[in-house]
Structure 1
Amino acid sequence: MERHEIEAFLTLAEELHFRRTSERLGLAQGRVSQTIKRLERRLGTALFERTSRSVALTPVGRQLRDDLLPVRDQLRRAVDRATAAGRGITGVLRVGYSSPMVAETLLKGGDAFRSRYPDCEVEIHEVQLSDPFGPLRGGRVHLQVSELPVQEPDFTLGPLLRRETRVLMVPAGHPFARRARVSLEDLAQVPLIAVSGDAVPRYWLDHHYPRHTPSGRTVPHAPAVTYWTELPSLIGRGKGVSPACEGAERYYARPDVAWIPFGDAPPVDYGFFWPTAGESARLRAFVETVCGLGGPDLP
């Protein structure tokens, strides 16, 4: 049997409808019918029982379907592997992330990617916000998904992966904790704790940890921390407040910290980016695979 005959037979065996089969295969309905008839003549037996209202497999057809399914899957895997090798989709792809929500999406995408490209391994690594681009520039990761903005001339920005509502983490006993919403102007009333480091760009800090409200009032800043995971305990002890994304509460909720949505702040966006000089077929294939999963993570 030729490959097109296997595909036509197995698709019809699944759909049990000639029109739907022709639409899936992108062929004329008459061509599908002729392919099945030629196959039946060659085998010397009917594979389908046809009436004006229905199509059903014969016992021989059911047996052939069961025997051919693993053959088709093996053929597809062989073609996929050859295609991937030809495109350079082999080896190890190291992907960085800065939040647990993104990690979940990347792990799911990694499973789908390995299924599609079995000769390429995917490793997922956490990147600290205090050194957001060091691992990427140092070659420890090839690709990254982190909080935007990213305005680095040597990086290429890819698609947006996730969008989160921006919230303010406040001590549970603070007056803000009793509100349904806070505003950016409220930041002038309480010390803000930022995540910082020598390698963090000023434009990124100003976006996530502003020093002035929209009206120009000064936002007081408490001493910065190096690791984001230090924030909840400091806030719970009343040392200040800090912006975050709404999805982080699922991972870092604690009774002494309240998560209050902003009514006027932009969302927290997470996007793909990578060194322009390091772009590769496997990198592009991974981004396409993850984005192709769709679902609630994508805006």
Structure 2
Amino acid sequence: MDLIRHLECFVAVAEESHFGRAAARLGIAQPPLSQRIQRLERELGLRLFERTSRQVTITKAGTLLLDEARELLTRSEALTATARRIRDGEAGLLRAALPPDIAGETVAAILAGFRQRHAGVELELHELPTAEQLTRLASHDLDVGLIHHPCDISGLELGPVLRREVGVLLPRQAPAAALDTVTLAALDGHDLVVFPRSGAPALYDDILTTCARNGYTPTVVRQGQGASFVRGLILSAGAVAFSPTDAHSTHAAEGDPDIVWRPLAGAPLTWRHSVAWPRGRSDAAVRAFTEATTRALLDAAAGGAEEPARPLYLRPASEYWL
């Protein structure tokens, strides 16, 4: 028995004191309404109405149940409304991820922007490299994430693809530190600190390929990601590391007596990001996260990031800009 629907019939008859008017209010015929009331009475083991040819009168038992029936209907409507908001991404939990190279100020801006756009949804934010994000998006253990390109985006939908120009962090005493802009070839002889390849294999390979094509083959490729660890490698091993052109990178270097940040001549390296989510999952919460993240990245890049005019062309397991 559909208890909620039967209680709706009970309340309508009680309030109208007439089967015909109650049936019209519910949008059903009178015989099915009478049958539902009879079935409800059988299920409850109580007589709810006294019926005559002229009128319908609620019984004492019916009167005692009426307020509780109304409360159950109200709670049912509230539950249905909440379920609808969760389904449409207007309430509930959104599991999101950002890559480790996003500056703390940008993370804070994303969180604030999301709350402003969608305060009704709890945001569970994780720090995950692109490869792990893709795995979790595929298994539906993650709802949305900010990924690095190039990568395999099969089965995903994307927000705007945004660019962050990349510069280099190097020891202040290095000869290249005296230059206003640094070519990749000028880094020859230095070790390179780069994120672990497992985090974003296609991007890792693209970085080393671009370096080799521009005259820089690192003496040693060292893996590191945390800012303090990378700084230690730069200072102890005379290494260099690539870092985006945003307020976080430049301000951190300006306040460091031992490390400087310099732009790369000709912008040979560019980090490209976009928010990604499983195809068909685009709801209000995902849209709010996409908008907040896109705005925060644009602001962090001081206008240097933009949605590219050229399309993405997919290759078997990666993306390349042609």
- TM-score where L is the length of structure 1: 0.59
**Greater shift in the superposed pair: 238-247 or 203-212:** 203-212
- Does 2:270 match 1:267? yes
- Does 2:191 match 1:191? yes
State the percentage of identical aligned residues: 20
Offset at residue 131 of structure 1 (A): 4.7
Q: Counterpart of 1:143?
A: 144
Offset at residue 237 of structure 1 (A): 2.0
- Does 2:164 match 1:164? yes
Counterpart pick for 1:222 among 215, 220, 245 = 220
Aligned counterparts of 1:133 and 1:221: Cα–Cα separation in 2: 31
Offset at residue 134 of structure 1 (A): 4.4
Q: 1:130 to 1:195 in 2, by over 3 A?
A: farther
Offset at residue 225 of structure 1 (A): 1.6
Q: Is the 8 A contact 1:127 1:135 kept in 2?
A: no
Aligned counterparts of 2:263 and 2:245: Cα–Cα separation in 1: 8
State the Cα deviation string for residues 15-41 of structure 1 (Å, max 9, x = none).
xxxxxxxxxxxxxxxxxxxxxxxxxxx
Q: Is the 8 A contact 2:97 2:127 kept in 1?
A: yes
For 1:15-34, list aligned pairs within 5 A: none
Segments ≥4 residues shifted beyond 6 Å: 80-83, 292-295
Aligned counterparts of 1:210 and 1:243: Cα–Cα separation in 2: 14
Offset at residue 197 of structure 1 (A): 3.6
Code of the aligned partner of 2:262: I
Code of the aligned partner of 2:111: L
Q: Counterpart of 2:206?
A: 207
Offset at residue 223 of structure 1 (A): 3.9
Q: Is the 8 A contact 1:167 1:262 kept in 2?
A: yes
Offset at residue 278 of structure 1 (A): 4.7
Aligned counterparts of 2:200 and 2:111: Cα–Cα separation in 1: 26
- Secondary structure of the structure 2 residue equivalent to 1:123: strand
Aligned counterparts of 2:197 and 2:204: Cα–Cα separation in 1: 10
Q: 1:292 to 1:233 in 2, by over 3 A?
A: closer
Structure 2 unaligned regions, length at least 5: 1-80, 307-322
Code of the aligned partner of 1:172: R
Q: Is the 8 A contact 1:132 1:199 kept in 2?
A: no
- Does 2:260 match 1:258? yes
Q: Counterpart of 1:181?
A: 181
For 1:71-90, list aligned pairs within 5 A: 84=85, 87-90=88-91
- TM-score where L is the length of structure 2: 0.55
Q: 1:272 to 1:129 in 2, by over 3 A?
A: closer
Structure 1 unaligned regions, length at least 5: 1-79
Q: 1:228 to 1:295 in 2, by over 3 A?
A: closer
Q: Counterpart of 1:121?
A: 122
Offset at residue 182 of structure 1 (A): 0.5
- Does 2:270 match 1:283? no
Offset at residue 179 of structure 1 (A): 0.8
Q: Is the 8 A contact 2:183 2:264 kept in 1?
A: yes
Q: Counterpart of 1:155?
A: 156
Q: Max radius of gyration: which structure? A: 2
Code of the aligned partner of 2:178: R
